[in-house]
Structure 1
Amino acid sequence: MPPLTSLLQDFGYARSRYFKLHKHRDEKLWARLLISSAFALFFPSFFMSLGVVFGRAQLSLASVLVSFLLGFFIAFSIHGAYRTVELLASEKRLARLNAGGWGGSLFFAGVPMVIMALSFSVFTWLLRVVADIEVRGSPFDSVRAASQFLFISLMFALASIYVAWQSNKRKALQLQATEAQLLRLQAQIEPHFLFNSLAAVQSLIDPAPERAKQMLECFTDYLRASLATLRLETCQLEQELQAVQSYLMLMQIRMGEERLQFSIEVPAALAKLKLPPLLLQPLVENAVMHGLEAKAEGGHVRIEGALVDGCLRLRVVDDGLGLAASQRRARPGHGLALKNIRERLAARHGEEASLSVTPSEQGCVAELILPLDDKKTP
């Protein structure tokens, strides 16, 4: 990747995370400081322009330099204040602030105003003590100047709240559209899967009635578990695992136990955790259909669950054909399930959730990372 492209990507990633609180910052420090520096240059320039246009202020080189130094002092004080909150507050508290509402809006509007006032006082005091420079014409020299400063700051704060509200509204609409699309797709369960399963049951009724009965029971359990979660905005992890287990048991009867083995290694303590429905099941279906079904000797699917750094990590590991196999690329619709999951994660959690599919020595590993907060945990 060209150096310039890499730098632009790093900057874009930092910009996308700049206006949200994150306890763990994995973006480049230089990119975050560059964004803060841009604010440090913008606001002094804005206020000096207002002073010249409306207040007939006369600028000198010294006053411009002092204004920009003040801008940097305030910008990085605000930057430091937010970072302090990120380090001291809990993940749940940060999630509530990021979610918006009156509490989050007041926090993000109030912190800059308070820090600006405090930073200005400290900066002017330092100039007077260290350099014997008396700052005149400050926003706090008179009631009128202070009211103008507070009014402009309030306008910026209200504008920020409005932009954040519009952004949350767009995300909510995007989430609704994505979930509606998921419901349409899942409601139209693959016809060939239904017909093949029913045909398999029919073919076993005379030669192996007990096996046919077992397969029909698994098929009914699978439909009941899958359709039940379609009506839920969130479901418990144990519900998702029940649907997955019913599907695997059904496929085990169809493919034969010698060709399909599976295990579910999820601690019981995680059973009540909540997550968007039908995230895990498509990954398991991909592992079976694309990884194991086309492999002559079949293989093994393992589902793992754990809490890692305050997030729920779910992994689907198979020893099938792998990502590079021609059989996988030939499958119609390959990639649509993964695309759908990523869109749902982005709409619900932004960059706090992720889905990765990576090749392993045999087969591949699909890994889901989901944040936990009060809205999604019991």
Structure 2
Amino acid sequence: MLMPRRWLPSYIALLTAVGLLLSLAALQDYRQAGGTRAWEPFLWEFSSVVCVGLLALGVHAGVGRLRGRALGVRLGWHVLGALAFNALHVAGMFGLRFAVYGLTGVEYRTDPLPELLLYEGAKDLVSYLCIAWISHGVWAAQAAAWQTQELERTRRELAEARLARLADQIQPHFLFNSLNLISSVMFEDVERADRLLCELATLLRQSLNAQTQGEHTLEAELALVQPFLNLMQARFGPERLQMRIEASAAARACRMPALLLLAPVENAIKHDVARHGGPVTVHLQAACVEGRLQIQLDNNGVQQAPPVDGGLGLSNLRERLAARFGARARVEFGAVDGGMRLCLELPIEAGP
């Protein structure tokens, strides 16, 4: 395709503007020379502009085909292209002029052919070089834009691959623990075992859906975290694990990478509840503040502090946010008030 259709009106407008400017300038000289037919300068200039405009499309296509060829090959083709440009321009331009003059009954005289070709050839060579140079810049800009799109696509695929890796690391862990829990209670409390199996099925189904989507709302993420918390509360008992989730309606509607919170919540339980004999509260809060989604996860009662970097799950979280948002996302993790706190800040982006 020589030119995107959306550019065609602008291209026609540009040619029209150039033709008018040249025609008005030629009209002044024409009148000073005693000319009486005001339409003649417009015919002369527009016949040239129309032919150059059409030939420029061919030059642009040719420059595109020559990209990546050897320098000698390109130079050879450009020499042939310049000669063809001159021949077609002269033939088209004077063909239009002779046709219009013939229709009006006015005699049209030109310079001798050798002088005409020499005069027009010099101008056409400059025109061809300018068009080829501009065309080369356009093709280079389009290639750069395509490379940028490919880079962004590669980054998205990398983020999706990291998401899949994270899910693969997390799921076997909680699946193993959940199955052990269900196995330990299935002969003592069938109803409880059945309830746990339902929670596990819900969790696995939602996590698989999240993997295919890549991104979803915080509401969907919390719907994924909740059955996991239910399983963990069933494992440790409500007297040891208390859960609080507080998220505003605006925050719940924000989009975010899927399966982002499951690893931090698991870390909070693994490094707190599993190591602490007393009651522990896992508190998750989310709100929108100044165009950013702020998520805070607190857990108390830690007897032995977890790793400073938050472990493998939090390391993957940082990598995913860096790949998706770059420096626009913030992750902070550390001890506070006798427990551990994870703070996330993500830019709020519009989306379906």
TM range (shorter): 0.5 to 0.7
**Structural RMSD (CA):** 3.2
Contact 2:166-2:313 at 8 Å conserved across structures:
no
Task: State the SS of the aligned residue for 1:348.
Answer: helix
Structure 1 position 234, deviation (Å): 1.3
Are 2:330 and 1:354 aligned? yes
- Which residue of 260, 264, 270 corresponds with 1:283? 264
Structure 1 position 199, deviation (Å): 2.2
Matched letter for residue 251 of structure 2:
L
Q: Which moved more, 1:267-276 or 1:283-292?
A: 267-276
TM-score by length of 2: 0.56
TM-score by length of 1: 0.52
Q: How many residues align?
A: 224
Which residue does 2:316 correspond to in 1? Answer: 340
Contact 1:233-1:276 at 8 Å conserved across structures:
yes
- Which residue of 239, 242, 247 corresponds with 1:258? 239
Which residue does 1:93 correspond to in 2? Answer: none
Give, in whole Å, the separation in 1 of the partners of 2:139 and 2:334: 44
Structure 1 position 157, deviation (Å): 10
Structure 1 position 346, deviation (Å): 1.6
Are 2:219 and 1:243 aligned? no
Task: State the SS of the aligned residue for 2:205.
Answer: helix
Are 2:183 and 1:207 aligned? no
Structure 1 position 352, deviation (Å): 1.0
Tell me the alpha carbon deviations over residues 84-142 of structure 1, each in whole angstroms, 9 at most, x when there is no partner: xxxxxxxxxxxxxxxxxxxxxxxxxxxxxxxxxxxxxxxxxxxxxxxxxxxxxxxxxxx
Tell me the alpha carbon deviations over residues 213-242 of structure 1, each in whole angstroms, 9 at most, x when there is no partner: 222222222212222111102112111001
Structure 1 position 368, deviation (Å): 1.3
Tell me the alpha carbon deviations over residues 5-60 of structure 1, each in whole angstroms, 9 at most, x when there is no partner: xxxxxxxxxxxxxxxxxxxxxxxxxxxxxxxxxxxxxxxxxxxxxxxxxxxxxxxx
Which residue does 2:156 correspond to in 1? Answer: 175
Give, in whole Å, the separation in 1 of the partners of 2:221 and 2:345: 15
Structure 1 position 163, deviation (Å): 6.0
Which residue does 2:75 correspond to in 1? Answer: none
- Which residue of 285, 288, 292 corresponds with 1:311? 292
How has the CA–CA distance of structure 1 residues 295 and 168 changed in structure 2, closer, same or farther, with 3 Å as cutoff?
Answer: farther
Contact 2:272-2:302 at 8 Å conserved across structures:
yes
- Which residue of 337, 342, 346 corresponds with 1:366? 342
Give, in whole Å, the separation in 2 of the partners of 1:280 and 1:287: 11
How has the CA–CA distance of structure 1 residues 355 and 361 changed in structure 2, closer, same or farther, with 3 Å as cutoff?
Answer: same
Tell me the alpha carbon deviations over residues 145-188 of structure 1, each in whole angstroms, 9 at most, x when there is no partner: xxxxxxx9999999888767645643431331232132134135
Contact 1:171-1:347 at 8 Å conserved across structures:
no
Give, in whole Å, the separation in 2 of the partners of 1:365 and 1:300: 12
Task: State the SS of the aligned residue for 1:318.
Answer: strand
Give, in whole Å, the separation in 2 of the partners of 1:190 and 1:237: 20
* Identity across the alignment (%): 37
Contact 1:295-1:321 at 8 Å conserved across structures:
yes
- Which residue of 231, 234, 252 corresponds with 2:215? 234
Tell me the alpha carbon deviations over residues 238-285 of structure 1, each in whole angstroms, 9 at most, x when there is no partner: 110011111001000001111110011002343332111011121111
Which residue does 2:253 correspond to in 1? Answer: 272
Structure 1 stretches of 4+ moved >4 Å: 152-168
How has the CA–CA distance of structure 1 residues 234 and 196 changed in structure 2, closer, same or farther, with 3 Å as cutoff?
Answer: closer
Give, in whole Å, the separation in 2 of the partners of 1:161 and 1:321: 56
How has the CA–CA distance of structure 1 residues 170 and 208 changed in structure 2, closer, same or farther, with 3 Å as cutoff?
Answer: same
How has the CA–CA distance of structure 1 residues 196 and 346 changed in structure 2, closer, same or farther, with 3 Å as cutoff?
Answer: closer
